[in-house]
Structure 1
């Protein structure tokens, strides 16, 4: 993927208020599972998974397996640093910790 395609992919992933909420949430809490994002932000689990997948495929988030759960964190991506700086100014709800993972 060339530089212009990568920029377009990142821009597309960040062009949604709900995905920005998810990114702000993951950035704030560092490592989260799907259910923590879903339960805290009030999105259905399938929709939350879709948002997380879109952000991961754009190189904005990364994931790792922990048992049967995927844990998400912000990837090292210089393209999103200005967005993260602004998102850190946005109010995010307190995390509802997942008892399942």
Structure 2
């Protein structure tokens, strides 16, 4: 039951649904690209990404200073069905703005 509630809770937020759809669309996205594209501060983006990761939707790969996010594979049937529903909502996503600043 906890896994179910955690998963539902993760997608019970408009911004997280948009971020999840964004990552699904672009396959792998650097956290800085999400910040640039959504025009949000890093701490807010990181909080949303942590919730989605903890709910089993995302995997993260660190490359130097940056974290790159993608949809976790394999994704169980329940989360796949949620992603499918999100993809059918017709959400207008921001344009991917690449360009991480170096340290």
Establish whether TM, by shorter chain, passes 0.5.
yes
Tell me the distance in 2 between the aligned counterparts of 1:77 and 1:22: 19
User: Could you report, residue by residue, the CA deviation over 1:5-31 in whole angstroms, capped at 9, with x for unpaired residues?
Assistant: 111110111111111111011111111
3-state secondary structure, aligned to 1:92: coil
Write out aligned runs for 1:1-101 (5 A). 4-75=1-72, 76-88=75-87, 89-100=90-101
Tell me the distance in 1 between the aligned counterparts of 2:39 and 2:83: 21
Q: How many residues end up aligned between the 2 structures?
A: 98
- Once the two structures are TM-superposed, the CA of residue 98 in structure 1 deviates from its matched residue by 2.1
TM-score by length of 2: 0.85
- Once the two structures are TM-superposed, the CA of residue 100 in structure 1 deviates from its matched residue by 3.4
The answer as to whether partners of 2:33 and 2:99 remain within 8 angstroms in 1 is yes
Provide the alpha-carbon RMSD of the alignment.
Answer: 1.5
Tell me the distance in 2 between the aligned counterparts of 1:43 and 1:79: 29
Structure 1: 4+ residue segments shifted above 3 A: none
- Once the two structures are TM-superposed, the CA of residue 78 in structure 1 deviates from its matched residue by 2.4
